[in-house]
Structure 1
Amino acid sequence: MPHWIQLGFAEYAKRMPPEFALELREIKPEPRSSKHNTASLLNAEKQRIEAALPKNARLVVLDEHGQDWTTQQLAQALPSWREDGRDIAFVIGGADGLDRSLQQQAEVLLRVSSFTLPHAMVRVLLAEQLYRAWSITQQHPYHRA
C-alpha cells in the first residue's frame, strides 16, 4: 500500500479508544493468471479471508450493492454491536470484489460510496467513519452535524 494510505489508516486507528481498537488484517490477493478464472480466484481469497476472521465475529461486508448507511446510522449500530461482545469484522474486497458466498454470510452488507474508489482508499474512509461514528456516540466534538 502507498505510504499515505498506511498513514491515513494509522491516524484514525490511533484515535480510537482501546474498547474500539481497530486492527487491520491484510489478505494477500490471489495471483492473477490466465489459468484461473475470476470465480476460482475469489474462492481462494475467500478461504484466506475466512481463516483470518475472528471466531464468531459480526461480519460486515463492504460492497457497492450494499445498504447506503449514513454516519449516524453507523453510530446507532455501534453500541448494540459492542454490547453483544463479538468482534466486528469489516471486509473490503479486492479489485474483483468478493466471493458471493462470503457476501451471503454477512450480517450487514454496506456500501461506502456511489463513487468507484480505489480499494486502498476504502480502508482510510472506513477508519475515519468508524472514528466519526464513535465520536457521535460519545458526543465528542469531532463530528459537527
Structure 2
Amino acid sequence: MKLIIAAVGTRMPDWIETGYREFAKRLPRDCPMELVEVKAEPRASGKPPAALMAAEAERLRAALPSRCRLVVLDERGDDLTTRQLADRMGRWMQEGDDVAFVIGGPDGLDPAFKSSAHEKLRLSSLTLPHAMVRVLLSEALYRAWSLLNNHPYHRE
C-alpha cells in the first residue's frame, strides 16, 4: 500500500517541505508516502469559486491513480483519534489499495469531487493553513503506522 498526499498548491515554504519529508522518510518501503501537488487555479482569473474548485478537481483526478481509496480532508469529515486512524489504516493495508488523502485549495474542494470520495476525514476544528496540513497529516499517518507496528514513537 502506498500513501499519497495530493494537495492543491505548489511552491511551499522550505519548512513545509522539510516537515513533510521528515515523516515520509520514516515510513518503510512497504508503506511509502508520496506527495502529489497540483497547480491551484489562479484566483485573479475572475472565475467564480465553483469554477476554480472544478478546475482543481480535474487536475487532482488526472494526478491520482485510477484505482485508489480516495480520502478527502474536510471540516465535516470523521474526527478520529490516533488509535482509530491506525485501525482504519490497518483495514486499508489489508485491502491493498493505495490511499490518496486530498487537501483542497484556498476555496476547498469541489462538492462533486468530495462526494466521490470513499471517506472524509477531519484533522482539526481549527482553521489550518493548507500548507501546514501536509505536515500534520504526514505526522499523523506516520504515528498511526508506528502504532500498528508497535514502534515506540507513539505513547499512550
- Secondary structure of 2:75's aligned partner: strand
- Secondary structure of 1:72's aligned partner: helix
Match in the other structure for 2:125: 114
TM-score scaled to structure 1, two decimals?
Answer: 0.97
How many residues end up aligned between the 2 structures? 145
**Map of 1:1-145 to 2, 5 A cutoff?**
1-33=12-44, 35-145=46-156
Task: Compare the two structures and name the one with the higher strand fraction.
Answer: 2
Give the residue type in structure 2 aligned to 1:84: E
Q: Which runs of no fewer than 5 residues in structure 1 stay unpaired?
A: none
- How far is the alpha carbon of 1:35 from its aligned partner? 2.9
- What RMSD, in angstroms, separates the aligned Cα atoms of the two structures? 0.8
| Distance in structure 2 (CA, Å) of the matches to 1:106 and 1:127 | 19
| Distance in structure 2 (CA, Å) of the matches to 1:117 and 1:96 | 13
- How far is the alpha carbon of 1:33 from its aligned partner? 2.5
Identity %: 57
TM-score scaled to structure 2, two decimals?
Answer: 0.91
Q: Which runs of no fewer than 5 residues in structure 2 stay unpaired?
A: 1-11
| Distance in structure 2 (CA, Å) of the matches to 1:120 and 1:51 | 21
List structure 1 runs of 4+ shifted beyond 2 angstroms.
none
Give the residue type in structure 1 aligned to 2:54: N
